[in-house]
Amino acid sequence: MIKILISGIIIIITVTVGACASSSTTDVSQAPTNSAPAPANNGYKNISQEEMAQLMKEGVPLIDVRRPEEYKSGHVPGAKLVPLGTLSAAAANWDKQKKIIVICQTGSRSAGAANYLVNQGFTNVYNFPRGTMGYNGQRTMGMNAK
């Protein structure tokens, strides 16, 4: 019985690790922190906090795709709330050639949002993969993005 249980656990671990290893990933190589280059091959680029700050100084919008209650509990100053469920409607009004940064709580939803935007023809999409949980800076509370 114990051998069967151990064999089952090993199979589950093997399948899980194999599935994770075979998933596609985005290049996370470090770019110069003075300004992030445009993503290659119409894909999105994961960026560091320093790159995000530089892009925001240049006027690139930061789109927070979390739920309103998450956003209200603390967000990166200057981030605009566009919940993931409303992204397609909001993006229909955006210039597909302009740079855009996406962020969420941990990086999962923003990666999905970045993929969606790229698939819709956006060519300058940046993702902050550490999310607000990995953001080391002051946060704004409430619903007002400043």
Catalytic residue numbers?
A: 104
46 CB neighbour count, 10 Å cutoff: 22
Query: Is residue 123 packed enough to be buried (19+ CB in 10 Å), middle (13-18) or exposed (0-12)?
Result: middle
Closest CA to 95 of 133, 134, 59, 46: 59
